[in-house]
């Protein structure tokens, strides 16, 4: 039987973390076949007490609290993975509630497909009513992407539009041993929207020849706070994510034909989104109008980073030559 190390990074979310741990204690997978490792990334609330209460329980799996003082989710996750012992590493977050059969369905996906990694389904728990302008097309911003009801294979050269995220993914230990951990320069920091570490790790897996699968029956429910249900939050996220993706591109070269330094297909998508924005405005379709406008903001972030990076490099080279 497969063994799992469940890895969670947390900071100052005592109530939500307690609910996550309760959901993990309710797993149908045998409790001696998985462990929970929680990396506390400098909490100042009652997180330590929540973890201690879970650690001393005798009705569930072993819980390992881990103190990680270096700020940043990537540092916390990497530290937790470093002390894990199981065949598979299952990632989730401190504001997520996995369904009881979560580990059981992850194990089935690995066994039935031979995949190297599994992306599970993430459903929202809305803290407030969903705004009319918010459609499933942009749910990925909230880490609740709608990927459908059917199992899908993920591979380089095949489907790559479904990306595993830290709220619900599992990876074979040998993959992590080969690729090592998340990049800390891309990971989340408190108060920032930076968060490309999952994307970069996904690209590394694909470009190293690893194959994954999306498993819709491995379900978790992800808390969506009211503060993220604003147009301003989405606009900032899309622009920042466009910049993040452009930063990753040089490490993963592609054969795409380029126009003015950007892949041609991005120009085509931008043109299509512009047309959709106009059409949705005429039809007064708020959700489609916002989706198209948000995608254009993403394109703007990508363009700013792509065009700005060479200029920054030239500037640093000039500074070095003048210093010499």
In a domain, 219, yes or no: yes
Torsion from C-alpha of 77, 240, 122, 71, nearest 10 degrees: 20
What is the average per-residue pLDDT within 16-43?
A: 98
Residue 40 zone, left/alpha/beta (φ > 0; ψ -120 to 50; rest): beta
Say whether both 38 and 91 belong to one domain.
yes
- pLDDT level of residue 181 (50, 70, 90 thresholds): confident
What is the average per-residue pLDDT within 12-19?
A: 98
Residue 21 CB neighbour total at 10 angstroms: 25
Closest C-alpha among 83, 70, 64 to residue 24: 64
Say whether both 26 and 163 belong to one domain.
yes
Q: Report pLDDT for 49.
A: 98
CB-based contact 188:72 (threshold 8 Å): yes
* 313 pLDDT more than 70: no
Q: Which of 229, 259, 288 is where one domain is finished? A: 229
Say whether both 87 and 141 belong to one domain.
yes
Q: 20 or 202: whose pLDDT is higher?
A: 20
* 314 pLDDT more than 50: no
Say whether both 205 and 250 belong to one domain.
no
* 193 pLDDT more than 90: no
- Please state the φ and ψ torsions of residue 182, each to the nearest 5 degrees: -75, 150
Measured at the alpha carbon of residue 164, what is the angle toward residues 160 and 166, in degrees to the nearest 5? 155
* 248 pLDDT more than 70: yes
CB-based contact 220:100 (threshold 8 Å): no
Say whether both 253 and 224 belong to one domain.
no
In a domain, 33, yes or no: yes
- pLDDT level of residue 188 (50, 70, 90 thresholds): low
Q: Which residues pair with 184 in a beta bridge?
A: none
Say whether both 108 and 209 belong to one domain.
yes
* 256 pLDDT more than 60: yes
- pLDDT level of residue 189 (50, 70, 90 thresholds): very low
In a domain, 163, yes or no: yes
In a domain, 234, yes or no: no
What is the average per-residue pLDDT within 214-233?
A: 97
In a domain, 235, yes or no: no
CB-based contact 21:31 (threshold 8 Å): no
Say whether both 22 and 76 belong to one domain.
yes
* 88 pLDDT more than 80: yes
Q: 189 or 123: whose pLDDT is higher?
A: 123
Q: Cα–Cα distance between 244 and 199 in angstroms, integer?
A: 9
Domain count, the chain: 2
Say whether both 121 and 222 belong to one domain.
yes
Q: Report pLDDT for 222.
A: 98
In a domain, 11, yes or no: yes
**Beta strands per DSSP E along the chain:** 4-10, 34-40, 62-67, 88-91, 96-98, 117-126, 152-154, 169-172, 212-224, 258-259, 262-263
In a domain, 237, yes or no: no
Say whether both 106 and 17 belong to one domain.
yes
Q: Which of 183, 198, 229 is where one domain is finished? A: 229
CB-based contact 63:54 (threshold 8 Å): yes
Q: Report pLDDT for 307.
A: 92
Say whether both 186 and 269 belong to one domain.
no
Q: The CATH number of the domain where 28 resides is what?
A: 3.90.550.10
What is the average per-residue pLDDT within 140-146?
A: 93
What is the average per-residue pLDDT within 181-207?
A: 75
The pTM of this model reads 0.89
Which range, of 103-112, 245-254, 281-290, averages the lowest pLDDT?
245-254
* 321 pLDDT more than 90: no
Range of the domain at 79: 4-229
Q: Which of 229, 263, 283 is where one domain is finished? A: 229
Contacts of 245 (CB under 8 A, 6+ apart): 196, 199, 302
Q: Report pLDDT for 317.
A: 45
Say whether both 167 and 251 belong to one domain.
no
Say whether both 118 and 212 belong to one domain.
yes
In a domain, 238, yes or no: no
């Amino acid at each position: 039987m497969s063994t799992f190390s469940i890895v969670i990074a947390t900071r100052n979310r005592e109530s939500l973390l307690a609910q996550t741990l309760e959901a993990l204690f309710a797993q149908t997978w045998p409790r001696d076949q998985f462990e929970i490792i929680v990396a506390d990334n400098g909490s100042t609330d009652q997180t330590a007490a929540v973890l201690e209460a879970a650690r001393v329980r005798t009705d569930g799996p072993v819980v390992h609290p881990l103190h990680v003082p270096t700020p940043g989710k990537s540092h916390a996750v990497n530290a937790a993975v470093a002390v894990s012992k199981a065949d598979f590493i299952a990632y989730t977050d401190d504001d997520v509630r996995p369904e009881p059969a979560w580990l059981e369905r992850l194990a089935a996906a690995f066994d039935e497909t031979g995949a190297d990694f599994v992306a599970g389904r993430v459903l929202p728990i809305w803290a407030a009513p969903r705004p009319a302008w918010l459609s499933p097309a942009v749910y990925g911003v909230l880490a609740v992407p709608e990927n459908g009801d059917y199992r899908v294979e993920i591979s380089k050269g095949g489907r790559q539009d479904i990306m595993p995220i830290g709220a619900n993914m599992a990876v074979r230990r040998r993959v992590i041993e080969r690729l090592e951990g998340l990049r800390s320069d891309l990971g989340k920091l408190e108060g920032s929207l930076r968060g490309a570490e999952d994307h970069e790790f996904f690209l590394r897996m694909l470009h190293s020849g690893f194959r994954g699968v999306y498993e819709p029956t491995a379900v978790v429910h992800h808390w969506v706070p009211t503060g993220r249900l604003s147009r301003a939050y989405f606009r900032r996220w899309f622009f920042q994510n466009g910049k993040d993706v452009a930063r990753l591109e040089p490490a993963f070269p592609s054969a795409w034909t380029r126009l003015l330094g950007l892949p041609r297909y991005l120009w085509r998508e931008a043109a299509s989104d512009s047309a959709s924005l106009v059409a949705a405005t005429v039809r007064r379709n708020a959700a489609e109008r916002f989706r198209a406008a948000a995608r254009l903001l993403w394109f703007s972030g990508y363009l700013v980073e792509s065009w700005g990076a060479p200029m920054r490099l030239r500037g640093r080279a000039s500074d070095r030559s003048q210093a010499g």
